[in-house]
Amino acid sequence: MTDLPRPPFGRLVTAMVTPFDTAGAVDLAEAARLAAWLVDRQLNDALVVNGTTGECPTTSDAEKSDLVKATVAAVGGRAQVIAGVGTFDTAHSVRLAEAAAAAGVDGLLVVAPYYSRPPQDALLAHFRAIADATDRPIMIYDIPQRTGVAVDPDTLAALAEHPNVVAVKDAKGEVVKSARVIGQTGLAYYAGDDAMVLPLMAVGGVGVVGTSTHFTGARTKTVIEAFAAGDTAGALAGYRTLLPVYTGVFATQGPMLVKAGLAARGFSPGGLRAPLQPASPAQAAAFTALLDAAGL
């Protein structure tokens, strides 16, 4: 059995898309249907709503709250619900955290503030303010290619001293730095890039917060559990069959291809809010072909 940190949100987490109806409004009924399918059929331990894949920059606070409530109602008690509450405004992020906690979420995903690029001491104060606002456990989202600022290892080590900061969604792509933080702090590290799940677990990560896992979830969980049980050969074999989908979902922005794939599988995820646009027919066909080739 591989010695891994305890996974506070389970091992398999999907960052769920936000379905829209034909008028462009959030489709709460379809969101509930999708959430149930992700838990019951794709075996997710937890779902993230209002994350990047959920097009959070284009949904209002009221829509975010409604989506959290609908998801908690659909799968609460069977899976954890994690709400994305990070913005580039500390006060706004605190309000979103308080609202999500009041709606019954199990955890909060907090991305580094984007555009303003605060220095590390300001970044630390930002995360601490949000962590102080509720009693919910927090996953720090470290994705510098989107935010413009990385959360340095020393900052993560300082954040780990806060009792509510328990995990990191790691999309930095610097496994050595991640290994250092895991070793120093015991924070639970989740791959924020689907293809990094095994490399990150090899240095102590616990699982994935995925995008392709809308489709690969059940088989990705088998990969993760095989590795955790010490079956590295079996884990690697399963990983290799899914790798084209892990990488292919990011051929363009994730929500575009996930929604195209869901539409091809009988869901009604709707369109995307500008500035994102639906995947082109060629993009959709290429991604659906990857799903088919992987037996998904």
- Measured CA to CA, the distance from residue 294 to residue 29 in angstroms comes to 29
Give dist(CA 132, CA 94) in Å, integer: 9
DSSP 208: E
Of 203, 251, 249, 202, give the one whose Cα is nearest residue 223: 202
Q: Is 6 exposed, middle or buried (0-12, 13-18, 19+ CB in 10 A)?
A: exposed
* 103 vs 105: CA distance, rounded Å: 6
Q: How far apart (Å, rounded) are the C-alpha atoms in residues 282 and 36?
A: 30
Tell me the backbone φ, ψ of residue 25, rounded to 5 degrees.
-85, 155
Residue with tokens 């079996």: 234
SS3 270: coil
Q: Which two tokens stand for residue 63?
A: 């829509």
Taking the C-alpha atoms of 281, 256, 7 and 147 in order, what is their torsion angle to the nearest 10 degrees? 140
Q: How many helices (H) and strands (E) does the chain have?
A: 12, 8
Decide: residue 84, CB within 10 A, 0-12 exposed, 13-18 middle, 19+ buried: buried
Q: Which residues are catalytic?
A: 141, 169
> Between 232-248 and 213-228, two packed helices, what is the crossing angle to 10 degrees?
160
